[in-house]
């Protein structure tokens, strides 16, 4: 909605804002007292009360000032109250606050966080004056809404107008460069850090390090890491994450050890990355040490850590330990990923029957499977069967597979393979006939692979000739 249209909205301020009964307003309260309460509730995060008080100020024929307007706009942003935000915008125009940076910057923040970037840009372009906060809000908004190229373009616009980035802006741009692997732009920002004499700022260097890690420029990341004199946990995490992005699990674990030697306590993301590295390298003993460390330092039972430990033990063949971790976690804490990790481990080691038992237990606990989970279960049924397979057990999934995942080729192919391995050619054909034409043609290719037994091979050949 264009800004010119907003000029007709100021009288809607009272009606658009909260209609709840005014709990905090009494006839004896002064206008300044009401405004102080607005600031108080905004800082406390009680934004519904901000709307109530704002309406009271409006009805008392007072005016919101440049200090209370940002509080109300913050409430609009947090509560996704776009209509109310438009009314406040109209009020700002009518009341002559367009020359005040504080409410205008709050308007830009509201529009960007609600995803209305054209409106934010229009506010920015029509501001009589701007400061670095205005520029940073626009750059951050473009990045957060998935337009990193526009954010970098905006940074170039700043440079063309001889406006230097501050520390906040540098961090924002570095984060965006890392997210899209814009290495050249990131290197340019790194150069500015030295030019501006900010090379001793730990937080800035950590942002540079994080950017290089995400761009997989690990040699540059290591160099920056070595230059940081006062390292903190965030710095260590950034370097470990960089090794993770660059697929260097050995380096990750080496750095994790050094981190502990220097008495830094890892965070949950650090623990997760380290456990993943152990899984990649099949380092069971190191993984057990991490498990013990997680228990002693209060990381366990975290859902994400528990899931990765189950995955580690399963892939290393320690199914008893995997089950111990799984059943040691509260059922309320078990996520779909935790169930999937256990079923995947059981399936990998030929325990198809156990996979189905865990699956039905998962359903009883109210966890709905996704496509990946279904594919895992069907693959276990298919590849852990003899000639007859788990036909009886797999067919309860038949209807649900057709209903929910009829467009996912890999799931349908696994279902056809199960039926084929069971020797039920007629049922396999009926299943395929329910598929869309494109899927149907691809499913036919799965039938001969399930017809390896001499009893069914002849039928398989005839079917192949029929659908060829």
3-state secondary structure the chain: CCCHHHHHCHHHHHHHCCCCCCCCCCCCCCHHHHHHHHHHHHHCCCHHHHHHHHHHHHHCCCCCCCCCHHHHHHHHHHCCCHHHHHHHHHHHHHCCHHHCHHHHHHHHHHHHHCCCHHHHHHHHHHCCCCCHHHHHHHHHHHHHCCCHHHHHHHHHHHHHCCCCCCHHHHHHHHHHHHHHCCHHHHHHHHHHHHHCCCCCCHHHHHHHHHHHHHCCCHHHHHHHHHHCCCCCHHHHHHHHHHHHHCCCHHHHHHHHHHHHHCCCCCCHHHHHHHHHHHHHHCCHHHHHHHHHHHHHCCCCCCHHHHHHHHHHHHHCCCHHHHHHHHHHCCCCCCCHHHHHHHHHHHHHCCCHHHHHHHHHHHHHCCCCCCHHHHHHHHHHHHHCCCCCCCHHHHHHHHHHHHHHHCCCHHHHHHHHHHHHHCCCHHHHHHHHHCCCHHHHHHHHCCCHHHCCCHHHHHHHHHHHHHHC
pLDDT value of position 400: 57
Instruction: Tell how far CA 218 is from the center of its chain.
Output: 24
pLDDT value of position 421: 66
pLDDT value of position 273: 94
pLDDT value of position 328: 87
1 and 120 Cβ atoms separated by less than 8 Å: no
pLDDT value of position 381: 67
pLDDT value of position 8: 42
CA–CA distance, 16 with 19 (Å, rounded to integer): 8
pLDDT value of position 13: 45
112 and 76 Cβ atoms separated by less than 8 Å: no
**Secondary structure (3-state) at 364:** helix
pLDDT value of position 215: 95
233 and 261 Cβ atoms separated by less than 8 Å: no
pLDDT value of position 408: 62
pLDDT value of position 188: 92
pLDDT value of position 14: 43
From first to last of its 468 residues, what are the pLDDT tens digits of the chain? 443 334 344 444 444 444 443 444 434 455 567 677 777 777 777 777 777 777 766 655 456 788 888 988 998 999 898 998 998 899 898 888 888 999 999 999 999 999 999 999 999 999 999 999 999 999 999 999 999 999 999 999 998 998 988 899 999 999 999 999 999 999 999 998 887 777 778 899 999 999 999 999 999 999 999 999 889 999 999 999 999 999 999 999 999 999 999 999 999 999 999 999 999 999 999 999 999 999 999 887 788 899 899 999 999 989 999 999 998 887 767 888 889 889 988 888 888 788 888 888 888 888 888 777 877 777 776 665 543 344 544 555 555 555 455 556 666 677 777 666 666 666 767 767 766 655 666 666 665 444 444 444 445 554 554 455
């Amino acid at each position: 909605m264009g800004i010119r249209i907003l000029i007709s909205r100021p009288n809607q301020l009272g009606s658009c804002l909260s209609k709840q009964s005014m709990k905090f307003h009494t006839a004896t309260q002064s206008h300044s007292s009401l405004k102080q309460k607005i600031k108080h509730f905004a800082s406390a995060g009680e934004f519904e009360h901000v709307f109530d008080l704002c309406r009271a100020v409006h009805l008392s024929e007072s005016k919101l000032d440049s200090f209370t307007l940002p509080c109300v706009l913050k409430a609009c942003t947090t509560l996704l109250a776009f209509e109310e935000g438009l009314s406040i915008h109209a009020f700002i125009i009518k009341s002559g606050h367009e020359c005040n940076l504080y409410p205008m910057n709050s308007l830009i923040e509201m529009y960007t966080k609600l995803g209305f970037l054209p409106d934010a840009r229009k506010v920015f372009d029509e501001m009589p004056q701007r400061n670095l906060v205005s520029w940073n809000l626009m750059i951050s908004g473009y990045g957060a809404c998935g337009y990193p190229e526009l954010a970098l373009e905006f940074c170039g616009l700043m440079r063309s107008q001889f406006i230097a980035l501050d520390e906040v802006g540098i961090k924002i741009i570095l984060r965006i460069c890392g997210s899209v692997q814009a290495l050249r732009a990131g290197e340019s920002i790194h150069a500015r850090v030295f030019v501006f004499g900010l090379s001793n700022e730990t937080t800035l260097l950590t942002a540079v390090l994080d950017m290089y890690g995400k761009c997989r420029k690990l040699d540059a990341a290591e160099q920056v890491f070595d230059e940081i004199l006062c390292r903190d946990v965030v710095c260590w995490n950034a370097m470990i994450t960089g090794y993770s992005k660059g697929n260097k699990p050995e380096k990750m674990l080496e750095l994790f050890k050094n981190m502990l030697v220097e008495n830094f306590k890892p965070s949950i993301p650090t623990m997760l990355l380290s456990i993943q590295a152990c899984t990649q390298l099949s380092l069971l003993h190191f993984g057990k040490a991490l498990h013990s460390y997680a228990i002693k330092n209060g990381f366990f039972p975290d859902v994400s850590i528990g899931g990765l430990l189950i995955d580690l033990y399963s892939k290393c063949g320690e199914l008893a330990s995997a089950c111990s971790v799984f059943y040691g976690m509260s059922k309320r804490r078990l996520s779909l990923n935790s169930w999937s990790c256990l079923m995947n481990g059981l399936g990998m080691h030929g325990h198809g029957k156990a996979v189905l038992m865990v699956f039905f237990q998962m359903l009883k606990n109210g966890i709905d499977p996704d496509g990946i989970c279904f594919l895992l279960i069907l693959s276990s049924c298919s590849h852990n069967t003899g000639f007859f397979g788990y036909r009886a057990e797999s067919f309860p999934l038949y209807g649900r597979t057709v209903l929910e995942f009829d467009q996912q080729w890999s799931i349908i192919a696994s279902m056809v393979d199960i039926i084929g391995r069971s020797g039920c050619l007629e049922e396999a054909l009926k299943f395929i006939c329910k598929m869309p034409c494109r899927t149907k043609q691809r499913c036919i290719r799965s039938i001969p692979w399930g017809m390896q037994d001499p009893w069914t091979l002849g039928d398989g050949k005839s079917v192949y000739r029929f659908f060829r």
